Homo-oligomer: A and B are copies of this chain.
Amino acid sequence: MANMAQAVRLALHYAEEHLGVTDIFGEDVGPPLGGVFTCTQGLKTTWNSPLDERGIIGMAMGIAMAGGRPVAEIQFCDYIYNTIDLLKLAGNTLWSSNGQWNLPMVVMTPVGSGIRGSIYHSHSFDASATHIPGWKIVMPSTPLDAYGLLLSACQEQNPVLFLIPKALMRIKGEELIPGEPSEDKALSKLIDAPLGDRTQWKAQWPAVQPVSIPLGQAKTVRAGSQLTVVSYGRTLPMCLLAANALASEGVDAEVIDLRTLWPYDWATIKASVAKTGRVLYVNEDTEVTNFGEHLIRRTTDELFYKLLAPPKLLAGKFVPGIGLADTLEAASVPQQSDIHAAMKKLAAMEP
């Protein structure tokens, strides 16, 4: 089964063959490396950019303007913060030209903690991104979702930000991507660049088929009746594990993978919370002015009288960075045990 890095690669391969993607670029995105997480190995339209994030976003905007279809990478989302004005500009270009200039462009960037990345390889970007109008924002938690959502992103008429949870990058999926060989390691032999000299290497692309996962659709990954948990990215699998564990403790939780952060699938959340009366939002961005707080506001706006307990957020601590030492990272962003405890506590609150 493909891991997420391979799934991204397969999607980009499909996109450059069939969806008109013209440029996949960024720092170390082209040969020989093919991306610091190997997401862009062996592709035909990749190239290495200068070390200049503003240039990367600006170039993507220009390419999109001129009818190209760029997929630009910011090597780590930690380094995207000096481009927020350009992201805002990309998000308002259609609007300020009163509908004339749309920018079909994808920006992808690895996000989040879980790899002991210390202060500058652990950032989350979902809070900042969801505050920028005019962008669609995606964050998969499985390889198949990454594949399908990236195909959708590459067909969008609008800018799409594709956030890839680093911690999940090397986790194999449980579902095959259509066309992916089913034997273990077969995919790796076909599409992972070899160790050693790569000058003669070419990827042997399996004939992957498109998967349709429209932007804006959440996925209920576990049905439950007593409590709703909404998450995405690194924390999503932990929420699922916690829900499964809590089932034996008598708590039946529904787990929703939001997948697209903007526009998000409010209908699915609303129906679930209307049913359970309790909701926990989980993400790992710092918790002040956090996207989960928006979801809580929406919840109180529309579901206040159905709530059996306060809607809760479990997110990253409001500290200036994620420290390198295990102890520091664990104290800064939600861990499995934190999620478990928060769910249990919420389930037990008296109405």
Chain A interface residues (CB < 8 Å from chain B): 54, 79, 81-86, 88, 91-92, 94-96, 119, 127-128, 130-131, 133-134, 262, 286, 288-294, 296-297, 300-301, 304, 309-313, 318-321
Least distance between A120 CB and chain B CB atoms (Å)? 9
Cα A288 to Cα B266 in complex, Å, equals 14
Determine the residue in chain B with the shortest Cβ distance to A313. B297
Contacts known (A294-B289, A294-B293); A320 close to B79, Cβ less than 8 A: no
Determine the residue in chain B with the shortest Cβ distance to A302. B310
A288 and B130 form a contact (CB under 8 A): yes
Contact among B119, B310, B321 with A304 in the assembled complex (CB-CB below 8 Å): B310
Least distance between A338 CB and chain B CB atoms (Å)? 16
A294 and B290 form a contact (CB under 8 A): yes
Contacts known (A82-B84, A301-B310, A310-B301); A289 close to B127, Cβ less than 8 A: yes
Least distance between A13 CB and chain B CB atoms (Å)? 32
Cα A88 to Cα B123 in complex, Å, equals 11
Contacts of A92 in B (CB 8 A): 119, 320-321
A-B contacts, 25 listed (Cβ < 8 Å): A54-B82, A81-B85, A81-B88, A82-B82, A82-B85, A84-B84, A91-B320, A92-B320, A94-B320, A96-B320, A128-B289, A130-B288, A133-B286, A133-B288, A133-B318, A133-B319, A133-B320, A134-B320, A289-B293, A290-B297, A293-B296, A296-B296, A300-B300, A301-B312, A304-B310
Contacts of A127 in B (CB 8 A): 131, 289
Least distance between A16 CB and chain B CB atoms (Å)? 29
Extra contacts, 5 of them, besides A81-B88, A84-B128 (Cβ < 8 A), are A82-B83, A96-B321, A130-B288, A296-B296, A304-B309
Determine the residue in chain B with the shortest Cβ distance to A303. B310
Least distance between A130 CB and chain B CB atoms (Å)? 5
Contacts of A297 in B (CB 8 A): 290, 292-293, 296-297, 313
Determine the residue in chain B with the shortest Cβ distance to A81. B85
Contacts of A304 in B (CB 8 A): 309-310
Contacts of A286 in B (CB 8 A): 131, 133
Least distance between A90 CB and chain B CB atoms (Å)? 10
Contact among B95, B288, B310, B312 with A319 in the assembled complex (CB-CB below 8 Å): B95
Least distance between A215 CB and chain B CB atoms (Å)? 16
